[in-house]
Amino acid sequence: MSTAPRLVDLRVGDINDLNSVVHIMNRAFDPHFGEAWSSSQCIGMLALQGVWLTLACEGEALVGFAMARAVAGDGELLLLAVEPERRGRGIGGTLLRSVIADARDRRAERLHLEMRAGNPALALYRAHGFTQVGQRRAYYRGLTGEAFDAHTYAMALTD
């Protein structure tokens, strides 16, 4: 039997997918750090102008997602998460490249993101050209009330 990684299918998600998205998010983000969004935050964000949801599916199963926004030339990667058991197979990178391409199509000139300081996802973002542009002290509040800094990153989408 082949052990080659399966390719994922990407598709556009909508409000009907949010239950599955929140399920993945709650498994993907360690609750200790307080990074995951609530269902109502996702519903509210998806309703905003310029926001889109990209789903990574293996067959019928959702294995990862990205939510992003592009408005007035500025893009933001809002969320990126992959099922813990499916990591390290390129699914996060596939989602990230799709968001970058979609943001370009939507005429964004820069793509921003914000991430907890120390999140190992930084290696993935650096590999795709993001560099740090700022810091927000005590931005995330973890389960025990502990505060964690956020770092902001950006990449240019213009040549």
Ligand X SMILES: CC(C)(COP(=O)(O)OP(=O)(O)OC[C@H]1O[C@@H](n2cnc3c(N)ncnc32)[C@H](O)[C@@H]1OP(=O)(O)O)[C@@H](O)C(=O)NCCC(=O)NCCS
Binding site for ligand X (CB under 6 A): 28-29, 79-82, 87-93, 115, 119-121, 123-124
**Helices 18-28 and 39-46: angle between axes, nearest 10 degrees:** 130
When the beta carbons of 68 and 108 are compared against ligand X, the nearer one is: 68
When the beta carbons of 87 and 104 are compared against ligand X, the nearer one is: 87
Residue 22 sits at φ, ψ, to 5 deg, of -65, -35
Question: Encoding tokens for residue 77?
Answer: 């990667």
Residue 124 sits at φ, ψ, to 5 deg, of -65, -45
Minimum Å gap between C-beta 56 and ligand X is: 8
Minimum Å gap between C-beta 124 and ligand X is: 3
Residue 14 sits at φ, ψ, to 5 deg, of -145, -170
When the beta carbons of 26 and 107 are compared against ligand X, the nearer one is: 26
Q: What residue is closest to ligand X based on CB? A: 92
